[in-house]
Structure 1
Amino acid sequence: MKYELRDTPGLVPIGLYGFQHYLSMLGSLILIPLVIVPAMGGTYEDTSTVVSTVLFVSGVTTLLHTSFGSRLPLIQGPSFVYLAPALAIINSPEFQGLNGNNFKHIMKELQGAIIIASAFQTILGYSGLMSVLLRLINPVVVAPTIAAVGLSFYSYGFPRVGTCLEIGAVQILLVIMFSLYLRKISVFGHRVFLIYAVPLGLAITWAAAFLLTEAGVYSYKDCDANIPASNIISDHCRKHVSRIKHCRVDTSHALRSSPWFRFPYPLQWGTPVFEWKMALVMCAVSIISSVDSVGSYHASSLLAASRPPTRGVVSRGIGLEGLCSVLAGLWGTGTGSTTITENVHTIAVTKMGSRRAVELGACALILLSLIGKVGGFIASIPEVMVAALLCFMWAMLAALGLSNLRYSEAGSSRNIIIVGLSLFLSLSVPSYLQQYGISPNTNSSVPSYLQPYIVATHGPFHSKYGGLNYFLNTVLSLNMVIAFLVAVILDNTVPGSQQERGVYVWSETEAARREPAITKDYELPFRVGRIFRWVKWVGL
């Protein structure tokens, strides 16, 4: 099916389409800070600040990417690819004994690692090395790599939902109902339930949880939600402490304590700390992030332009993504900045791929980031609802990754074996490293859902070089790294035709044969296109 770029006249309709893009990807934009900041020991106020920073950086980097990067209607934001290595760094042995000022110290370490890895990604793109790497990448490699990113967080998803099952499970069921059973229902010509399944499910569940809290369902006599669990003496309160903490919606004071106006600024957490072993982990992950973005470039370009992007477009996009991640590191978002994979799904559903709409939405996002209460409101989302949304987001990310197989011969036994081995080993090999050297009776202060990320302390690599041990134990415990290595090696050594591997669809030769169906500013040379584009913006 052919998708045309839709460009509705007038700033207001175009702006609404752009804001629709961001609203439909609300989960991808806000959920990562809600996971990593508490893991670093940050307060609700810290979470609010990081959320506002993420919104600001996402808006700025999106404007940069649509203007000087791939120039496709793709939104930049925090990537789930960086979440697992970020959690591994957060749970490094040197951070386990810190008290009091954990958050800022760990954040500065993350910033340093992200900045170095982003500089590496920038060189990878602008030097042309990405064009060389593209010869090894095709749909058979991209599919299991991206899918492994979503599948790798299963230990966090439903175990956190289970802390307040009546709220978390209901939210998952609502999102499933909206996105699948009600997906064809249109309101004023828009498939509201399909596009806004995540924010609608969140709003309804949050309202229901608020009513239950106000009705006193989670109120227990002489029990205070603000008292730490370790200080609770009463057996009655200790029995219900989990429900008080996870089911009530009034335990967070983020909205009340956040300022009305706050401007995110670089180095707001202090000067970044550069540690080479952590930087190397992030450099390895930046390659996976580039592979993720390559898949998004091809999928979105084939939808909006009916042709794949050229190698030059991909290299320029990856290079600018590296620069955008440098900005994310300087501002302190906790993760790198990359193309949000779910954006492709939004383009496919709405059949709207106008860069102008995405840019106006980015401007609206920047304005919202300056309102501190917005970040405080998002930071006050109960943790169980965050986990429920992540169950859906990670499942969709895995499915979006596997959907790249449609560009190859998905029924080929060669491809089936490669993808199957890549996915299975991406779960099994990290599981081996994570369980290595751990006694069944070992007690750990780290929550069970974070234990897969403390592999650096007990992995199988024990050479005399501590930094090398840290790098190998951590990198090889990341599911997407194993999936990428297995898929790249097998796909490039097992014989297969170009059509079978999907190279035929993704090649520049095929791109040259297709009739372009996109706006003129994409087709014109870079600088000339920019001149025409700004002339169009000012209405001349």
Structure 2
Amino acid sequence: SELLARSLFACGISTILQTCMGSRLPLVQIPSFEYLVPAMMLSSHLSLSASTDRNGEALGCSHRVLPPVYHAFLLQVSGAVVVSGLVQLVLGVSGACGWTARRCGPMVLAPSLSIVGLSAYKEVAFFCSANWGVALLLVLLAITFSQHLGSCRLPCCAWLCARGGYVEPSVPTLRTFSVLLPFTGICIMCAILSHLRIPWDSLELATERLPWANSTVRSPWLRIPYPGEGGWPLLTPRALAVGTAMAVGGSVNSVGCYVLCGRLLRASRPPPEACNRGLCTEALGSLLAGLLGATGGTASSIANTCASSLTQAGSRLSVQVSALVCVALGMSPRLAGLLTHIPLVVHGGVLCVTYAVAVGTGISYFQYADIDSGRNIFIVGFTMFMALLVPRWLSTAPAHLATGWVPLDLLFLSLLMVPVFLTGFLSFFLENTVSG
């Protein structure tokens, strides 16, 4: 819960900077999946080196040995997050982010945004596998409130006009709360089922054995995070390689999120200067997160951006309020730990609805391109197919990519395991090099 509190604190600060000085779009900052994959690559190499000694003999895995190894791993991941922040800051200050965004046409945005949602189906399916009935109920409620009853206006939510004294038509309440109401209702239902000891979560037995599952009660109520609290980040060659991959993957995700937000809110496309400022603020958030000891940097949230399309509530004020809530939770590890009790099936149901919007938005960009062109058909098909194929191949046989230097292996693996980077890189390269 303390790691979660540090991450929430950094995300809250980064969100405030993003909405006030960055891109000025209503974007919530979170640790995205683009930071998780490189961290997992680093974890696999560190665990392999820690489990064997110099002669290749297995070491004893006692409880007295594991904590120092685990602590060293966290410090290296924090070092990678700091490196990612520095690299992103260079990309933002130099204008490379805006230069790239200016040259991203429909044939780059369409497959990139589509693959954002398609590449997350495994994680979403795992979350929903806890109880598919509960997940489908949440999806059904969200669809009903946002689509079928989207124009429904509740009379109890009307208000009097200040001047004329007549009743002003209320806002479409069900659409505005089309994500919050199902989320809250399903959480309450799951809590009641758990209180009545009715088995409904097939993943509960597996997660309750984890050490963090019951650590909330030992966390303090108030602890203001500060740099170096759990040790200063370690800047090793492996951390430098993984941090560079984090920065590149996170930057691709952020640029796509800027365009996605403008598209969903029916606003103009963000100018290159706004993209540069937005990436700089995310870099500052990642630097803060790494110095605080968090295991993930800050990046714009695709899920929250897509949720604004369902609710049609793209307000910077509401995002800033949520940022203040994150800062408050970041200063209370006990309260932040309560977020870990949200059932995974609830996360899966919400992601089913929100990531579907990302896929649909990507497909909508095909209307601005000649999709009957053989060149465009090849670019879309090749980039999306390779973005799903290469990570699948490397996940089953990572030893096939071996250059002889571990940091370089980590850099390539961390980049090639991220479908968003593969789609963005391949589509950008083909769009700007293939004539037609």
Q: Give the TM-score of the pair, scaled to structure 1.
A: 0.65
Secondary structure of the corresponding residue to residue 467 of structure 1? helix
CA distance in 1: counterparts of 2:411 and 2:26, whole angstroms: 36
Q: Give the match for residue 129 of structure 2.
A: 162
Q: Does 1:486 align with 2:426?
A: yes
Give the 5 Å matches for 1:111-260.
Answer: 111-187=78-154, 188=157, 189-218=170-199, 244-245=205-206, 252-253=213-214, 256-260=217-221
CA distance in 2: counterparts of 1:400 and 1:256, whole angstroms: 42
Structure 1 residue 82: Cα displacement: 2.2
Q: Does 1:297 align with 2:254?
A: no
Structure 1 residue 426: Cα displacement: 0.5
**In structure 2, which of residues 299, 308, 333 is the aligned counterpart of residue 338 of structure 1?**
299
What does the per-residue CA deviation read over 1:405-450, in whole Å, with 9 as the maximum and x for residues that have no partner?
55x32745343432222111100122222223xxxxxxxxxxxxxx
Q: Give the match for residue 428 of structure 1.
A: 389
CA distance in 1: counterparts of 2:223 and 2:149, whole angstroms: 39
Structure 1 residue 375: Cα displacement: 0.9
CA distance in 1: counterparts of 2:409 and 2:255, whole angstroms: 31
Q: Give the match for residue 100 of structure 1.
A: 66
Give the 5 Å matches for 1:47-62.
Answer: 48-62=1-15
Q: Does 1:109 align with 2:79?
A: no
Change (3 A) 1:467 1:72: closer
What does the per-residue CA deviation read over 1:83-138, in whole Å, with 9 as the maximum and x for residues that have no partner?
33233333335357376326533322211111112111111111223344335423
Q: Identity across aligned pairs (percent)?
A: 28
Q: Is the 8 A contact 1:425 1:482 kept in 2?
A: yes
Structure 1 residue 145: Cα displacement: 2.7
Q: Does 1:465 align with 2:405?
A: yes
Instruction: Give the letter aligned to residue 209 of structure 1.
Output: C
CA distance in 2: counterparts of 1:196 and 1:333, whole angstroms: 31
Instruction: Give the letter aligned to residue 205 of structure 1.
Output: I
**In structure 1, which of residues 475, 484, 491 is the aligned counterpart of residue 415 of structure 2?**
475
Tell me the number of residue pairs that the alignment of Structure 1 and Structure 2 aligns: 405
What does the per-residue CA deviation read over 1:361-387, in whole Å, with 9 as the maximum and x for residues that have no partner?
433442343344431221122344444
In structure 2, list runs of 5 or more residues that go unmatched.
52-60, 158-169
Change (3 A) 1:401 1:375: farther
Q: Give the match for residue 283 of structure 2.
A: 322
Change (3 A) 1:204 1:409: same
CA distance in 1: counterparts of 2:139 and 2:311, whole angstroms: 23
Secondary structure of the corresponding residue to residue 117 of structure 1? helix
CA distance in 2: counterparts of 1:206 and 1:185, whole angstroms: 24
What does the per-residue CA deviation read over 1:159-191, in whole Å, with 9 as the maximum and x for residues that have no partner?
343244444454444444444444443443344
**In structure 2, which of residues 11, 25, 34 is the aligned counterpart of residue 81 of structure 1?**
34
**In structure 1, which of residues 273, 293, 302 is the aligned counterpart of residue 234 of structure 2?**
273
Structure 1 residue 328: Cα displacement: 2.0
Q: Give the TM-score of the pair, scaled to structure 2.
A: 0.79
Change (3 A) 1:416 1:354: same
CA distance in 2: counterparts of 1:400 and 1:305, whole angstroms: 12
Change (3 A) 1:302 1:389: closer
Q: Is the 8 A contact 2:138 2:349 kept in 1?
A: yes
CA distance in 2: counterparts of 1:120 and 1:416, whole angstroms: 34
CA distance in 1: counterparts of 2:306 and 2:268, whole angstroms: 17
Change (3 A) 1:149 1:86: farther
Q: Is the 8 A contact 2:249 2:418 kept in 1?
A: no
Structure 1 residue 404: Cα displacement: 4.8
In structure 1, list runs of 5 or more residues that go unmatched.
1-47, 220-239, 437-454, 497-540
CA distance in 1: counterparts of 2:417 and 2:434, whole angstroms: 25
CA distance in 1: counterparts of 2:145 and 2:351, whole angstroms: 16
Q: Is the 8 A contact 2:241 2:408 kept in 1?
A: no
CA distance in 2: counterparts of 1:303 and 1:168, whole angstroms: 25
Structure 1 residue 403: Cα displacement: 4.6
Instruction: Give the letter aligned to residue 199 of structure 2.
Output: Y
Q: Is the 8 A contact 2:125 2:348 kept in 1?
A: yes
What does the per-residue CA deviation read over 1:324-362, in whole Å, with 9 as the maximum and x for residues that have no partner?
221122223322212223454455555555545543443
Change (3 A) 1:217 1:330: same
Q: Is the 8 A contact 2:32 2:301 kept in 1?
A: yes
CA distance in 1: counterparts of 2:355 and 2:45, whole angstroms: 24
CA distance in 1: counterparts of 2:273 and 2:194, whole angstroms: 55
Change (3 A) 1:374 1:84: same
Structure 1 residue 305: Cα displacement: 8.7
Secondary structure of the corresponding residue to residue 299 of structure 2? strand
Change (3 A) 1:484 1:157: same
Change (3 A) 1:164 1:304: closer
Q: Is the 8 A contact 1:293 1:339 kept in 2?
A: yes
Q: Give the match for residue 517 of structure 1.
A: none
Q: Is the 8 A contact 1:108 1:272 kept in 2?
A: yes
CA distance in 2: counterparts of 1:212 and 1:292, whole angstroms: 38
Change (3 A) 1:289 1:465: closer
Q: Does 307-316 or 191-200 show the bigger shift?
A: 191-200
Secondary structure of the corresponding residue to residue 155 of structure 1? helix
